[in-house]
Amino acid sequence: RRRSERTRRDRAWKENSARQPRDALEERSSRASRKKTQVTCKAFTRLQLRGRTESALSELGASTQHLFNDIVKQIPKFDGTPYKLDLFSIAVEEAVEQLPLYERRIMRALESKLVGKAERMAGRLASYRRASELLRDLRDKFVNKQVADKLALNLGNATQPVDVDARQFGSDVRSLYEDAIAAYSQAPDINAIEREAAIYSLQNSVTDSFLLGLSEPLQLQVRLKNPQCLADAIDIAGDIENKLRYRAVVGSNVTSVGLIGVRTHPGTTKNSESERATDDKKVKCQLCKRTGHEAADCFKYKRAILKCSNCGLKGHEASTCRRPSTNDRDSRQDSRDDRDNRDSRRDNRDSRRDDRDSRRDSRDSRRDSRDDRDDRDSRRDSRSPRRGERDSRDTLVESNSRRNYYNRNNDTRCDDGRDRYARSASPDYKNSNSHNNRNSQQSQGYRNNKSYRENVRSDSRQSNDNREPAC
């Protein structure tokens, strides 16, 4: 048996070893056929896409052309300013995303969008295949680390020219700051740590750069106001500069809040009145450069200097303000808040009522389903009135049959035990073959052993030889 099993295993191993080269060859051939099929499918798909593109270009209608023109119009112009490059890049990427089939046409349309310092890039648009390549070159040229450092240096060295007011100088400083931030944010040759450090430094130093660039008397007065940000510093500097300029023109006829001084004309005769009328026509305001009034009567600078403490608008005081006072606004706000709170409480009450109604409906539905189930059970019981008796009778019969079965088996086991004990007690049974065979069957593993069977046969022969002959 062992030899046959070994030969069977050897034969199976030989068959597997002979089958492996054939399977490998079949697998290689199937792989090559699949690859060929994939290449064919890709070529067919490419031809289909090319045909679709050509058909789409040929079937370009008025609506598509109108959409293309609108998208191109939305792209802003780029003149080399760093903060405008971000807007230009976003607009170009969105245009290509909306019309991917017309990317080359969009590239050609960008020729009119590149102006100023970026106009040189317009002549090289034909060499770009994709818009991403153009945007990468624009970032490398206009927002690199060298450009960002130069803008930061210009911001630190900015000074107010003589013929430029504080607000205009503040707008110039803000433009330099925005350009430097945009250059550091988009520079491809700066790592993340250097970028964050440069932006943080610019944010903390932009206000000081503006204050250091102001003229000397104005700079001191603005620093005394302690501005918190660049916008506050520009507003404070503009207001102080207007007051200083107005006082220099008018002289001492200015109140503490910048009110206009009153000019008196000597003489009350008709000749003096006529002379004063002719003088008013010839006089020219030194502030707004218009004729007919002087700087003391200029309404434009009244509007620029006076500021209401009630409504916050310029051109009048709180005593002449037509808007309600702050206390009235606070009372109206309180009443509005009370009304909102009352509405919210009513909404909460309505929501709780709705929840209670929904729970009641679900409880009623469960009760109805329970009643339906009880009715169904009662109808089933009415259809079979003797079902309970039949079930009880079947249960009784089954229990009796099971009890009889167990009693019969117990009696049989008891009888078998008594007979076995009686046989084992007799001396003839101990020397008999059945006794030896019974002892030999105690170990299941040695039953098929050849030496064990021979020993059993020899013992049985000796027992037969020693047996007494019958009388």
Distance CA(152)–CA(147), nearest Å, equals 9
Residue 79 · residue 179 · CB < 8 Å = no
pLDDT at residue number 345: 85
- Read off the DSSP letter of residue 119: G
pLDDT at residue number 47: 46
Among 240, 334, 189, residue whose Cα is nearest residue 198: 189
**Residue-level length of the chain:** 471
Distance CA(424)–CA(367), nearest Å, equals 74
Instruction: Establish how many alpha carbons lie within 13 A of residue 398's alpha carbon, considering only the half-sphere containing its beta carbon.
Output: 6
* Cα separation of the two ends of the chain: 50
pLDDT in tens, the chain (471 residues): 666 776 777 776 666 655 555 555 556 566 655 555 554 555 545 545 555 545 544 554 566 777 888 888 888 888 888 888 888 888 888 888 888 888 888 888 888 888 888 888 877 887 888 888 888 888 888 888 888 888 888 888 888 888 888 899 999 999 899 888 888 888 888 888 888 888 888 888 898 889 888 887 788 888 888 888 999 999 999 888 888 877 776 654 444 444 343 333 344 444 444 444 445 556 777 667 778 777 666 766 666 566 777 787 776 767 777 776 655 555 566 667 777 888 888 888 888 888 888 888 888 888 777 777 777 777 777 765 555 555 555 555 455 555 555 455 555 545 555 555 555 555 554 555 544 555 544 444 444 555 555 655 555 555 555 554 544
- Read off the DSSP letter of residue 174: H
307 alpha carbon, distance to own chain's centre: 46
pLDDT at residue number 251: 54
How does 231-246 read in b/e, with b if 16+ C-beta sit within 10 Å? eebbbbbbbbbbbeeb
Distance CA(289)–CA(299), nearest Å, equals 12
Residue 89 · residue 62 · CB < 8 Å = no
Which residue(s) pair with 114 in the sheet? 78
Domain ranges of the chain: 10-45, 66-141, 143-253, 285-325
Distance CA(39)–CA(407), nearest Å, equals 82
Matching residue, tokens 């490059």: 85
Rg of the Cα atoms in the chain: 54
Long-range contacts of 2-5 (CB under 8 A, 24+ apart): none
For residues 414, 420, 425 and 428, what is the CA-based torsion angle, rounded to 10 degrees? 150
Residue 68 · residue 102 · CB < 8 Å = yes
Where would I find the beta strands (DSSP E) of 199-296? none
pLDDT at residue number 443: 47
Alpha helices in 308-449 (DSSP H): 326-383, 387-425, 427-430, 433-440
Alpha helices in 75-165 (DSSP H): 82-98, 103-109, 131-142, 145-156
- Any residues with CB less than 8 A from the CB of 101 and at least 6 apart, and which? 53, 56, 57
Distance CA(316)–CA(310), nearest Å, equals 10
Dig out the tokens for 342 from the structure: 């009352």
